[in-house]
Amino acid sequence: MVDDISPLLDFCRSQSDWVRDAVEALVRLESPSDDKAAVDRCGAELTRRLVALGAEVTQSPQTTCGDHVRAEWRPTAAETRQRAPILLLGHFDTVWPVGTLEHMPLHERDGCLHGPGIFDMKAGIAASMLAIRALTEFCKATPHLVMLWTTDEEIGSGTSRALIEESARASSAVLVLEPSLPRGAAKTSRKGVGEFALTVHGVAAHAGLDPEKGVSAVHELARQVLALEAFQDPDRGITINVGVIAGGSRTNVIANQASAQIDVRVQTMEDAARLEAAIRGLRPSRPSIRLEVSGGINRPPLERSGDVVRLYEQAREVAATLGREVGEGAAGGGSDGNFTGALGVPTLDGLGPEGDGAHAIHEHVLLDNLSWRGAFLAGLIESLARSSTSAVQR
C-alpha cells in the first residue's frame, strides 16, 4: 500500500505522452457497436496494452458484437487480504461509424484532444491504464483489480449484462469510467431507461365509401399518446418521449394499424415499476380496437444510496489530497453502472476525464486532465483496497 499518494500525481504527469498515445491508439481504431470486425480490432489493441501492464486477459467471444475484454491483476495471498476485487467498468464501442475520422479527425486544439469516441469513453480506459502503471510503480502490493471493457453498451448491453452483473457480484466496489459531468463531477445517480413499443390494431375501411365501418388505428394512437403524456412527472424525474410513430397505408384507407416507439426515464425503482404497470395497463377507447405493448425498463436506475454516497465521499477525499474538488451530480442517461448499482454493489459512475460532446461532432477531452485522472483513480483504488483489507482484518 501507499502511505502518501501525492507522488502518484508527479508520476502520472511524467507519463503524459504515454497516456496520450494510449488514447490516440484507441480512438484511431474506430469501433461502432454494429461492426464486429472493427470493434475486435480495437479490442485486440486494448488487449495488447493490458497484457503489457501485467494483466491476465480473457475475452468473451460474441457473434453479434465485438468480444468483451476482461483483465485481472491477482495479488498473492501473502501480499494482501483484500476480500474481493475492485471492478473498473466501461465500454469501447462507440456510436460513430467507420470512416468518421475522415471528416472528424483526431486533433488537438486549445488544450483539448478531439476525436470520435474519445470522451465516451476511450479516454476513460486510457486513464485507468495509467492508474495501473502508477499503482505498479508505487504500491508494495498491487490491489486485486478487474477491468471489464464491453462492446455493446451503446446498443443496450444485451450480450454483456450477465457478464457485468456476474463481475459486480464478486466485487467490493465498482468504478465506472464513463465521462464525467461538467467540471469533472462524478455521477452518484442515473435515471433508469426503458423502451416500449405500442401497436394499435384497428379496422380498415374505405374512407369515402364506408367510413362508418372502419376504426382508425392512427386516431386511436393519437389518443394513447395523450394518455402517455399524462403519465409524465418531471418533478419526480419521470419523462416519456414518443420518439417514432408509424401507421396507415393510404390517405383514402382508414388505418388498421399504427405504432409508436417510446422512451421512458425514471429515477427510482419504485417509479419504474409504477410506470411500467401504467403503460401495460393502457386500454383502448373502443371494443373493436386492440392494443399491444412490448418492451420494458431495460436499465434500472442507479439510485443515490448510502453505499454510493460513502464511495463518493471516499473519492472526494482522495481528490482533495491531490489538490482538487470532485463534485457530484445526476445523469439522465443510463450506463452499465445502472446494472451494478441495482445489485446493491457500491458503484460510482462518471470517473472518466473531463471533456464534452459525447455523441457530438465536438467530442473532446481536456489533455491536462488525463494525467490527473490517472493519479486520482490510482489513489481511489488504493484507498478502497486499504479500507477493504482493514475491514477483513477486523
Averaged pLDDT for residues 376-388: 91
Does residue 135 surpass a pLDDT of 80? Answer: yes
User: Is the link from the previous residue into 129 a cis peptide, with omega within 30 of 0?
Assistant: no
Percent of the chain with pLDDT over 90: 92
Q: Is the separation of the CB atoms in 124 and 29 below 8 Å?
A: no
192-299 carries CATH number 3.30.70.360:
yes
Please give the class, per CATH, of domain 6-190+302-393.
Answer: alpha beta
Q: pLDDT (tens digit, 9 = 90+) per residue, 77-125?
A: 555 555 799 999 999 999 999 999 999 999 999 999 999 999 999 999 9
- Secondary structure of 362-388 in the HEC alphabet? CCEEEHHHHHHHHHHHHHHHHHHHHHH
- Tens digits of residue pLDDT in 190-241: 999 999 999 999 999 999 999 999 999 999 999 999 999 999 999 999 999 9
The predicted model gives 125-138 an average pLDDT of 95
- In this structure, what C-alpha cell is assigned to residue 91? 465500454
Q: List phi, psi (to 5°) of 36.
A: -60, -45
Query: Cβ distance 357 to 119 under 8 Å?
Result: yes
CATH topology identical between 6-190+302-393 and 192-299: no
Quote the CA–CA distance of 120 and 353 in Å, as a whole number: 10
Residue range 62-79: mean pLDDT, rounded:
87
Stated pTM of the model: 0.91
Q: Which three cell numbers stand for residue 147?
A: 477491468
Predicted local distance difference test score (pLDDT) of residue 77: 55
Cell of 43: 479490442
Burial class of residue 43, CB neighbours in 10 A (0-12, 13-18, 19+): buried
Q: Sketch the domain layout of the chain as residue ranges.
A: 6-190+302-393, 192-299
Mean pLDDT, the chain, whole residue set: 94
